[in-house]
Amino acid sequence: MYVAVKGGERAIANAERLVAEERRGDPAVPELSLDQIGQQLTLAVDRVMTEGALYDRTLAALAIKQARGDLIEAIFLLRAYRTTLPRLGDALPVDTGAMLLERRISATFKDIPGGQMLGPTFDYAHRLLDFDLAREDAPRTPAKTVSGSPEFAVPRVADLLGGEGLIEPSPRSAAAEVPDLTQAPLAFPAARPLRLQNLARGDEGFLLALGYSTQRGYGSTHPFVGEIRMGAVSVEYVPPELGFPVEIAEITVTECDMVNQFKGSAEAPPEFTRGYGLVFGMSERKAMAMALVDRALRAAELGEESGAPAQDQEFVLSHSDNVEASGFVQHLKLPHYVDFQSELTMVREMRAEWERAQSRPATEAAE
Amino acid sequence: MTESSAGRLLAHPFNFAYLDEQTKKMIRRAILKAVAIPGHQVPFASREMPLPYGWGTGGIQVTAAILGADDTLKVIDQGADDTTNAVNIRRLFAKTAGVRTTTRTEEATVIQSRHRVPETPLREGQIMVFQVPIPEPLRWLEARESETLKLHALADYGLMQVHLYEDVATHGRIAKAYDYPVLVNGRYLASPSPIPKFDNPKLDRNPALLLFGAGREKRIYAIPPYTEVKSLDFDDHPFTVERWERPCALCGAVDSFLDEVITDDQGGRMFVCSDSDYCETRRAPTPEAADD
């Protein structure tokens, strides 16, 4: 019989025990703690929180540990947990202009009010394996406190340029009703707020490839990094019984404002348009890719559609979610033997017909 | 991360049948709408479930939304109750809802299935829940949702008719063995889910309520009891189902869908019922049952 899929409860329980054993590895090696993951695998935690759409470093660390470091599996775990949580209300829009900056760069201007600040980036590191790290007692050189670190709110670059009218202003969401991708199924055409929600949860690899494709001629957007900023922002909520905003959390986010050339149209003068990316933690690659894809998806609105994959919202938004994609791709390993049997029966019949046709005398076939 | 933050990670009690009541209400509304418009795909805010997409999250959500404490649940995959995925889904509901489970088709009030309709005829009052991967029957012909929505609105199913005609022209027959498209209540083209076409006739005027859940695609649709379900065909190429040249090797049934089981590496094979409950019931009670 088909023992491979008819294992039943005992087989499932055994598989779970095997996973636990593999996860733990050699018991002689100390077990990973959530603190170690939370403190030392910070970028993995950031990605899992971003695509898992839940800001909780402890839970993300737990998910990473449970998933044995498989980040997409960890994202799935976090999503499945998130969906069970009660929804208490909507926070106020986060003010990234008031961010406590840890990193802030602009590629469009040499100097900007508030200055450029590299922060904890790999950008200019020589990618040489650091063998000192192989030792667990490697000496630590404490980082120098950034002398120029501004103690005040630094305005966003795009807002600085806004005065001249050369760059489109940040869209103000007039409607109090913000669509929620997790509470209503995606419907097409999707407006920008919904698209951005989808992209924020979207798979980093998928968005990276799509963003990259726009740089190689598949829906070119001529992008410049107007600004990337990373740091802490406060999350405010207005409890109905109080009627005024209360700070309920401080979260670290990375924001990317991509500035793109726009030649103008009959209705709009030439100006710079913007693509936007926002992610939890320091998922900067994702923020940049998201901004590129956001801008590419505005092609229809700006009358510059060329049929490139990144400009096609049904294509992009329907396939960006890695929990969905991973599930559907991997479901192929579930048993399909009933459907296969149907096909087998049909192919056998069709072959029999084909063979009958082949063996018929040539004259008959010619008729 | 302190002791207390680790403390809050301890086992959380989940609601009856896993989903919270608000979500169940939302799903029930979608189901009601689906029943009111037979065959029409109703979008719903599908949730992430503790099982992966593709494993039956749509069916699981529908089952979770309709399950009551006094229900008896049967779960099958490929017709069998003992396939790992069926065991796993049954286990989920036994754990989160504590409902009675059964393998007997007659005993069940709710039957969740992947890829099969049981051989034992369903009766009034039973609900069958199908797991659906791609709810849109036109998806292979038109990838865009915005387009297929229009085609359904206009009941414009020429695309599918032409597709089936091309099969006839090329292969001399409609070369569709499973997920064979059906017209529900004379109006909506629907996917019966990837059941073999052998099961399609069972959908027509079935006394049970048939619900279809697609989790990843976020759609629910329904075939209410006694609704007309027609498998598309042509007058000169009528719809037919699979036939086997032999009966089930275990129970002797000649009217059931048979799985081909490879028994050795010499080309040996046997054909047995895919519906494990049907096969066992026929073998168990009376010895002469196997003779018919």
The stretch B62-87 carries a mean pLDDT of 95
Residue B93 has pLDDT above 60, yes or no: yes
Model confidence, pTM: 0.89
Q: Considering only residues 112 to 141 of chain B, which have any Cβ-Cβ distance to chain A shorter than 8 Å? A: 114-116, 133
pLDDT value at residue B14: 74
Q: What is the pLDDT of residues B204-221, one digit of tens each?
A: 999 999 999 999 999 999
B215 part of the active site: no
For the question of residue B7 being annotated catalytic, the response is no
Cβ neighbors of A123 (< 8 A, separation 6 or more) are none
The arithmetic mean of pLDDT across residues B79-107, rounded, is 93
Structure tokens that stand for B138 in this block: 């036109």
Residues 6+ apart with CB under 8 A from A180: A197
Confidence class for position B44, pLDDT limits 50, 70, 90: very high
Question: Residue B6's pLDDT is what?
Answer: 44
With a pLDDT cut of 90, the percent of chain B lying above it is 82
Nearest C-alpha neighbor of A190 from the set A291, A182, A198: A198
* For chain B, percent of residues with pLDDT exceeding 70: 93
Q: What is the DSSP letter of A219?
A: S
- Calculate helix-pair angle for B84-96, A8-24, nearest 10 degrees: 80
pLDDT tens-digit profile of B132-151? 999 999 999 999 999 999 99
- In order of A249, B33, B62, B207, B223, the CA distances from B184 in angstroms are 52, 15, 20, 15, 7
DSSP state of A91: P
Best residue of B41, B84, B256 to probe chain A, by most A CBs closer than 10 Å: B84
Partners of A336 on chain B (C-beta within 8 Å) are: 78, 115, 194
pLDDT of res. A173: 63
The arithmetic mean of pLDDT across residues B171-189, rounded, is: 95
- Predicted local distance difference test score (pLDDT) of residue A40: 95
pLDDT band at B28 (very low <50, low <70, confident <90, very high): very high
Looking at residue B4, its pLDDT comes to 43
Give the pLDDT mean for B13-38.
Answer: 93
Q: What is the Cα–Cα distance from B84 to B278, expressed in whole angstroms?
A: 19
B24-56: b (≥16 Cβ within 10 Å) or e = bebbeebbebbbebbbbbbbbbbbbbbbbbbbb
Write b or e for each residue in A58-71: b if 16 or more Cβ atoms lie within 10 A of its Cβ, otherwise e: bbbbbbbbbbeeeb
Give B266's pLDDT tier (boundaries 50, 70, 90).
confident
Question: Quick check: B174 and B233 in contact, CB under 8 A?
Answer: yes
The ipTM assigned to this model is: 0.85
Residue in the block written with tokens 């052998």 = B198
Considering only A147-151, B39-43, B181-185, which range has the smallest mean pLDDT?
Answer: A147-151
Name chain A contacts of B81, Cβ cutoff 8 Å. none
Q: What's CA B65's distance to the chain center, in Å?
A: 16
Measured in Å, how far apart are chain A's first and last C-alpha atoms? 48
Rounded mean pLDDT, B241-246 = 90
What are the structure tokens assigned to A61, written together? 């660390």
* Mean pLDDT score, B51-69: 96
The answer to whether the beta carbons of residues B113 and B85 sit under 8 Å apart is no
Query: How many C-beta atoms surround the C-beta of residue A280 within 10 A?
Result: 26
Residue of B nearest to A13 (CA): B88
Arithmetic mean of pLDDT, B237-265: 92
Question: Does residue B11 surpass a pLDDT of 80?
Answer: no
What is the reported pLDDT for B155?
97
Q: Does the CB of B255 have a partner CB in chain A at under 8 Å? A: no
- pLDDT tens digits, B120-132: 999 999 999 999 9
pLDDT of residue A145: 64
Residue B220's beta-bridge partner residues? B42, B213
Residue A6 has a pLDDT of: 55
Q: Is residue A297 within 8 Å of residue A309, measured between CB atoms?
A: no
Q: Which of the four pLDDT bands, split at 50, 70 and 90, describes residue B1? A: very low
**B145 to chain A: which residues are within 8 Å by CB?**
188, 314, 318
Q: Given the residues B56, B58, B59, B273, select the one marked as catalytic.
A: B273
User: For each successive 10 residues of chain A (367 residues), what is the average pLDDT?
Assistant: 54 91 96 96 98 97 98 97 87 92 89 87 92 84 66 76 76 72 91 95 98 92 91 95 94 95 77 93 97 95 89 97 97 91 90 89 56
Q: How far apart are CA B148 and CA B162, in angstroms?
A: 16
Catalytic annotation on B251?
A: yes
CB contact under 8 A, B145 and A318: yes
Integer Cα distance of A120 and A43 in angstroms: 11
Cα–Cα distance measured from residue B22 to residue B26, given in angstroms and rounded to the nearest whole number: 6
| CA angle centred on B225, ends B223 and B230, rounded to 5° | 55
| Among candidates B1, B78, B87 on the partner chain, residue whose Cβ is nearest the Cβ of A34 | B1
Residue B2: what pLDDT?
Answer: 44
List the strands of the sheet with B229-231, edge to edge.
B188-190, B182-184, B229-231
Say whether B213 is catalytic: no
Distance, in Å, from the CA atom of A13 to the CA atom of A72, rounded to the nearest integer, reads 23
